Amino acid sequence: MASQVPEYGLFIGGKWVSPPGAQRFETVNPATKEPLASFVSGTAADVDRAVTAAHGAFPAWKETPAPKRGDILLAAARILTERKAAVGRVVTQEMGKVIGEGLGDVQESIDFIEYMAGEGRRLFGETVPSELRRKFCLTVRQPKGVVACITPWNFPTAIPNWKIAAALITGNTIVFKPASNTALCATEVVKVYEAAGVPPGVLNFVTGSGGVVGTALVEDPRIRTVSFTGGVEAGRDVYVRGAKQLKMVHLELGGKNPVLLMEDADLPLALEGVLFGAFGTSGQRCTATSRLIVHEKVYDQFLTMLTERLARFSVGDPLDPRTGMGPVASADQEKKILEYIEIGKKEAKLRYGGTKLTGGIYDRGYFVAPTIFETEHGTRISKEEIFGPVLSVIRVRDYDEAVRVANDVTYGLSSSLYTRDVNRAFRAIDDLEAGITYINAPTIGAEVQLPFGGVKNTGNGGREAGSVAIDEFTEIKTVFVDFSAKLQKAQIDSE
């Protein structure tokens, strides 16, 4: 039967193209399982064409003054602002996050594009004194060339824009490959840049599987930098393949982010924070609160508060603004989360939820109950990334034990401490092994003007967002200008 949904193509060299006879896939609304749109399953040949287009467009884009590139970004931010309501709705329909968060995803995109537009009038280098007379030393930033942006489904507009806006302002050209199950959101992103006047070939878009499109991108020698956000295993594969060609590979991977709740914390404040951190976006953020490490003095009281509050937490239609949590993003997600819940039931004490939700609207989509386990530290659910609405609660005796538990995982993205003790708050900034630490706020909600990234298996040392985002997409050139009109020898001449 012919598909009834709109069909989209690839965006290569400034044109939307549907290669004849191409295989296609559809995206699905996870709240209803209704198909939304159809996309091309890109091939290695499509990737080759896209990289060729990006390669051809690079010299002129590099030559375009950065403030002029910034003007195009500002136009993109304006267009996306006009489209915010519509695109936010697409995010909710295709990914399942509640509408407030769908709109937030788009707002995060707008914020970052604007922020990067301003970077076009900075892109600072350094001036540094020379050890010799009449010699001037400085650094300038240059684009890398063609970069690949490979993005996940959980922030289907924000994460692509973190990469695309930073890569564009610094003068790179791009091949963008989105997660397949949020390809419509990605298409909306590309359409915004197209409407903003990004020249043909500067931004190219190839949908399709990671195994085919992602691998072809990573293997293409013309691509010198790959920016990847996703799971650890896929990230490792990208890193290893990239390493063989000595490419720069930027990785943003998983998390197992703790909230440390101390005995002196403002418990009602922490309650709302934990709820949002653990169950916002159905727990499908790299930054999601997946561990709650609680001081024994407030353990029973806080768990009672949490379960009572959850009884009034609505799970359902993500387009309804009163809904607290929508579905999980896909059948695969639901399967994996339910498998972890079964593991949890064997190794820990189920305190709340623990089921697939059924009946009424739930039967149409992928709905999992917000779930709480009480567990010892060391169980699988307390250490492995689940990426779903599953919170592991761990009881500890004191702050030192809380920090030991918090740090004893292979990830290190976000972390949080609730306390009223200012000394302890500052100690936690030192002590927690994570790229991000919040004090008296949950583990989610990073702002675009600050660096984002983590330690250990969360990445390989880079950061996105903030002004450091431009490091990912620029080469630094060091320049020596000798205006003494004679040969001066560094390290050798004494005068």
Give contact residues for ligand UN1 (rule: CB under 6 A). 108, 154-155, 285-287, 444-446
Packing angle of the helix pair 183-196, 158-169 (nearest 10 deg): 30
CB 370 within 8 A of CB 313: yes
Task: Cite the active site residues.
Answer: 252, 286
Q: Which is nearer to ligand UN1, 93 or 458 (CB)?
A: 458
Q: Which is nearer to ligand UN1, 52 or 437 (CB)?
A: 437
Query: 327 phi and psi, to 5 degrees?
Result: -75, 175
- Please, what is the minimum distance in Å from the beta carbon of residue 121 to ligand UN1? 25
Q: Which residue is nearest to ligand UN1 (CB)?
A: 446
- Helices (H) and strands (E) counted in the chain, each on its own, are 15, 21
CB 150 within 8 A of CB 217: yes
- Please, what is the minimum distance in Å from the beta carbon of residue 302 to ligand UN1? 22
User: Would strands 390-396 and 371-374 be described as parallel, antiparallel, or unpaired?
Assistant: parallel
DSSP state of 412: E
- Please, what is the minimum distance in Å from the beta carbon of residue 454 to ligand UN1? 10
- Token pair in block for residue 294: 């609680």
Q: What long-range pairs does 218-221 form, CB within 8 A, spacing at least 24?
A: 218/148, 218/242, 218/247, 218/249, 219/245, 220/47, 220/48, 220/51, 220/148, 221/245
Q: Which is nearer to ligand UN1, 289 or 375 (CB)?
A: 289
Using alpha carbons, select from 377, 391, 385 the residue that is nearest to residue 347: 377
- Please, what is the minimum distance in Å from the beta carbon of residue 31 to ligand UN1? 20
Interatomic CA distance for residues 97 and 182, integer angstroms: 12
Q: Which is nearer to ligand UN1, 242 or 453 (CB)?
A: 453
- Please, what is the minimum distance in Å from the beta carbon of residue 114 to ligand UN1? 15
